Amino acid sequence: MAQQTNTNNNEAERLVGDYQVVQEQIRSSALQLEQLQMQKAELERAKEEVSGASGKVYISVGGVIVETDKAKALEDISSKAELTQVRIGSLTKQFNDIKTKEKQLGEKLTQMLGGKDTG
């Protein structure tokens, strides 16, 4: 009987640890997702500015600002926006998977701890 209680305690501790790791992953993913969404919004603003530009257009390349033509700048912005959108999609899927895992772990913990209270 004491052996089973000890095993249940170890399992509960493991689940709590796993739950905490998953919560940290959720926070990290949410932060990354927010940063990507801000980057996407910034790229949209840049696209609008370049589209409306009538003079010279400059881009930043490796910490150096160089002159480029409008079409090349728009192509570069669109390419970065596409890549950002792909990363947002991938990270959103990862975030949803982690949330599902968090829910499952929460349910296991609730069952395990609820079982102790009734026994």
pLDDT in tens, 39-86: 999 999 999 999 998 888 998 888 999 999 999 999 999 999 999 999
Question: What mean pLDDT comes out for the span 22-42?
Answer: 97
Domain range summary for the chain, segments of one domain joined by +:
2-113
8 has a pLDDT exceeding 80:
no
CATH for 2-113, among 1.10.287.370, 3.90.1150.10, 1.10.150.120, 3.40.50.2300? 1.10.287.370
pLDDT in tens, 62-73: 899 999 999 999
Q: Which residue has the higher pLDDT, 119 or 102?
A: 102
1 has a pLDDT exceeding 60:
no
Whether 95 and 26 have beta carbons less than 8 Å apart is answered as yes
Question: How far, in Å, CA of 57 to CA of 74, rounded?
Answer: 10
The model carries a pTM of 0.79
Model confidence at 115, pLDDT cuts 50, 70, 90, reads low
Which residue type, as a one-letter code, is found at position 6? N
